[in-house]
Amino acid sequence: MTLELRGVRKDYGGVEVLHGVDLEGRPGEVLAVVGANGAGKSTLIKILSGAEPMTAGEMRMDGEPVELHSPHDAHARGIRTVYQELSIVPGLSVTENLLMGGFPRRRGLIDWTAAHARARELLEGIGFGAIDPRTPAGRLSVARQQMVEIAKALVTMPRILVLDEPSAVLAGGDLESLFELIRRLRERGVLVVYVSHRLAEVMELATRIVVVKDGWVIATTEPSRTSEGELIDLMAGRRLEQIYPGRRARPGATRLSVRGLTRAGEFEDVSFDVRAGEIVGLFGLVGSGRSELARCVFGAEPSSSGQVSVDGGDVRFRTPAEAIAAGLALVTEDRKRTGLVGGMSVLDNIALTTMRGMRRGPLIDAARRREKVTAMIERLSIQPAHCASMRVVNLSGGNQQKAVLAKWLLTEPRVLILDEPTRGVDMATRVAIYHMIDDLARDGLAVLLISSDLTEVMGATDRILVMNQGRLTGELRSDQAGENEILAHAIGQAA
Ligand SMILES: Nc1ncnc2c1ncn2[C@@H]1O[C@H](COP(=O)(O)OP(=O)(O)OP(=O)(O)O)[C@@H](O)[C@H]1O
């Protein structure tokens, strides 16, 4: 199936965000689409998937002009899209999720034995045999749920498969299964459109790479003709400073101290310190318990036993409000659920926590508030630049992530816990975030950086804690640790 887009334009409420995009894809290709946050990648995908109409332009499949009026139209033409946001129903089994479009029946009743068998066959056929079709989807790890989501798109073999950051929550073997699947789809002549911020995998998987910037396609290239560095520069439109600031930490007094913290069924007997001026990485695969640990330290989930203290005062926070009052901030991974209020303006979202915590008199100083927020928008280069009064839902995904970070940085915390702060964030902004964390640490902040991105953990921190199945399994110095060593601890197989 060849796909052609010609002169595709899109405007939202009079503001044009795609300015005439041309794109071509052939059967058996992996067409990677890369670009900074807000460049227009998701918009392009929505047009390809029939979820948004184009304002002007043309789409052709095998040379024939097509018009997509709905996602249903796209389905009918063999186009399937897997978005970052999961759409599977947690309460239903994997089988039910997969076969929702039509169950095998016997005498009018659903034949469950046949249904599970068909689901199993489907999963095995795409290399996802590790998933048991009878499990309720909600009980699977986020990584496995994402895989079910992909499997769902393959129930009837598509001709074009669009994947929006499919690897963001995958690691280790799951990631390998995805790559293997994509290779197999290529062999079957499927055109895969692959959107990702992870350039290393783009370089590995793509046959061609399309670079989008500010609503334009500014380059089309191939992995053999470019490099990660060049792609980053193209996306940013300038040469980037060094990705990771060279850290030379001189840690001060202990700021965050965690002792024997346990939450039954999630993690057990976790102890560590983070000192002033220190950036400590917490690495673990999805499902290792790192996010649960962070939420518990922050008082968002109760612990079964153990202590948490900030600056020596012994506490175990019962609510996030107590933690915030003690100088703790937690930037969460799931911006949709815990980070932002979609219908509110960017300004109000960013100012939300600060204004509650710092309010002294009965009045909020509106001018000062706007000034602080605007400065933060500029510092994190949240796009579009004049977004303060925009509704936060209208920001691109990566820019929403930056807004969450802005919100917490404004509380001027003493201990900052970042849970996957760069997930979905483009390279140029990542660099800005790393340098900003570094600055904050130099000013005495204690930082715990939770991440499943190994290069990030190695580059941006002083010390690395590794977690496996709810336990701390290793502690290493970032400048001495090797990738394999960290991974061995993460899968519980260190010597
Ligand atoms: N519903 C909407 N209304 C108004 N503007 C929108 C809407 N959706 C997206 N935009 C704007 O369109 C531009 C492109 O956004 P898009 O989501 O396509 O970016 P992206 O490349 O996918 O970014 P990211 O990597 O951050 O997900 C952004 O400036 C965004 O603010």
CATH code of 270's domain: 3.40.50.300
Q: Is 242 a member of any domain?
A: no
Look at residue 27 and give its three-state secondary structure: coil
Q: What is the mean pLDDT of residues 27-47?
A: 93
Q: Is the pLDDT of residue 336 over 60?
A: no
Q: Which of residues 228 and 160 earns the better pLDDT score?
A: 160
Task: List the single range of 192-196, 215-219, 489-493 with lowest mean pLDDT.
Answer: 489-493
The packing angle between helices 397-409 and 427-442, to 10°, is 10
Q: Which of residues 362 and 209 earns the better pLDDT score?
A: 209
Q: What is the mean pLDDT of residues 15-21?
A: 92
Q: Are residues 202 and 99 in the same domain?
A: yes
Report the nearest-CA residue for atom 19 of ligand 1. 38
What's the N-to-C CA distance of the chain in angstroms? Answer: 50
Q: What is the 167 CA–ligand 1 centroid distance (Å)? A: 20
Q: What is the 39 CA–ligand 1 centroid distance (Å)? A: 7
The span from the CA of 293 to the CA of 122, in Å, is: 35
Distance (Å) of CA 358 to CA 195, 207, 327, 331: 40, 52, 12, 18
Cis-peptide, bond into residue 223, ω within 30° of zero: no
Q: Are residues 59 and 179 in the same domain?
A: yes
Q: Are residues 227 and 265 in the same domain?
A: no
The packing angle between helices 142-153 and 172-187, to 10°, is 10
ipTM: 0.95
The share of the chain scoring above pLDDT 70, in percent, equals 95
Query: What atom of ligand 1 comes closest to residue 426's alpha carbon?
Result: 25
Q: What is the 42 CA–ligand 1 centroid distance (Å)? A: 7
Q: 221-233 pLDDT, tens per residue?
A: 999 999 988 898 8
Q: What does the DSSP assignment read for 369-436?
A: HHHHHHHHHHHTT-SSTT-TTSBGGGS-HHHHHHHHHHHHHTT--SEEEEESTTTT--HHHHHHHHHH
Q: Are residues 301 and 339 in the same domain?
A: yes
pLDDT confidence bin for 117, thresholds 50/70/90:
very high
When divided into structural domains, the chain yields a total of 2
- Residue 334 has a pLDDT of 62
Q: What is the 395 CA–ligand 1 centroid distance (Å)? A: 6
Provide the strand spans (E) within 214-318. Answer: 216-221, 254-263, 267-275, 279-283, 305-310, 313-315
The span from the CA of 203 to the CA of 211, in Å, is: 13
Q: 189-205 pLDDT, tens per residue?
A: 999 999 998 888 899 99
Q: What is the mean pLDDT of residues 77-82?
A: 95
Q: H/E element holding 34? A: strand 30-35
pLDDT confidence bin for 186, thresholds 50/70/90:
very high
Q: Is 134 a member of any domain?
A: yes
Task: List the single range of 40-44, 333-337, 460-464 with lowest mean pLDDT.
Answer: 333-337
Copy the structure tokens of residue 68. Answer: 């997509």
Q: Are residues 204 and 328 in the same domain?
A: no
Q: Are residues 296 and 413 in the same domain?
A: yes
What is residue 345's DSSP assignment?
A: B
- Residue 203 has a pLDDT of 94
> Which of 204, 236, 268 is the endpoint of a domain?
236
Question: Of 336, 295, 342, 338, which Cα lies nearest the Cα of 319?
Answer: 295
Q: Are residues 214 and 262 in the same domain?
A: no
Report the nearest-CA residue for atom 18 of ligand 1. 40
Q: Is 31 a member of any domain?
A: yes
Q: What is the 40 CA–ligand 1 centroid distance (Å)? A: 6
Residue identified by tokens 């016997």 is 106
Any atom of ligand 1 within 6 Å of the Cβ of 215: no
Q: Are residues 49 and 173 in the same domain?
A: yes
pLDDT confidence bin for 142, thresholds 50/70/90:
confident
- Residue 286 has a pLDDT of 73
Q: What is the mean pLDDT of residues 294-305?
A: 90
The span from the CA of 84 to the CA of 97, in Å, is: 17
Q: Exposure of 179 by Cβ count < 10 A (0-12 exposed, 13-18 middle, 19+ buried)?
A: middle
The share of the chain scoring above pLDDT 90, in percent, equals 47
- Residue 361 has a pLDDT of 52
Question: Of 238, 290, 225, 300, which Cα lies nearest the Cα of 466?
Answer: 290
Q: Is 484 a member of any domain?
A: yes
Q: H/E element holding 456? A: helix 454-460
Question: Of 383, 350, 373, 377, which Cα lies nearest the Cα of 37?
Answer: 383
- Residue 357 has a pLDDT of 45
Q: Is 244 a member of any domain?
A: no
Q: What is the mean pLDDT of residues 48-60?
A: 95
pLDDT confidence bin for 239, thresholds 50/70/90:
low
Q: Are residues 155 and 45 in the same domain?
A: yes
Q: What is the mean pLDDT of residues 198-218?
A: 92
Q: What is the mean pLDDT of residues 272-285?
A: 94
Task: Indicate the average pLDDT of the chain.
Answer: 88
Any atom of ligand 1 within 6 Å of the Cβ of 422: no
- Residue 217 has a pLDDT of 93
- Residue 173 has a pLDDT of 79
Task: List the single range of 55-59, 366-370, 457-461 with lowest mean pLDDT.
Answer: 366-370
Q: What is the mean pLDDT of residues 308-337?
A: 81
- Residue 185 has a pLDDT of 93
The residue to mutate among 8, 11, 12, 399, having the most atoms of ligand 1 within 8 angstroms of its beta carbon, is: 12
Q: Is 69 left (phi over 0), alpha (psi -120 to 50) or beta?
A: alpha
Q: Is the pLDDT of residue 402 over 80?
A: yes
Look at residue 174 and give its three-state secondary structure: helix
Residue 173 lies in domain: 3-236
> Which of 205, 236, 267 is the endpoint of a domain?
236
Residue identified by tokens 């640490």 is 441
Q: Are residues 227 and 275 in the same domain?
A: no
Task: List the single range of 74-83, 169-178, 457-466 with lowest mean pLDDT.
Answer: 169-178
The packing angle between helices 346-358 and 366-379, to 10°, is 120
Q: Is 247 a member of any domain?
A: no
Q: Is the pLDDT of residue 410 over 90?
A: no
pLDDT confidence bin for 383, thresholds 50/70/90:
confident
Q: Are residues 215 and 258 in the same domain?
A: no
Q: Is the pLDDT of residue 150 over 50?
A: yes
The residue to mutate among 10, 15, 17, having the most atoms of ligand 1 within 8 angstroms of its beta carbon, is: 17
Q: Is 471 a member of any domain?
A: yes
Q: Are residues 225 and 273 in the same domain?
A: no
Copy the structure tokens of residue 494. Answer: 């260190």
pLDDT confidence bin for 274, thresholds 50/70/90:
very high
pLDDT confidence bin for 77, thresholds 50/70/90:
very high
Q: Is 246 a member of any domain?
A: no
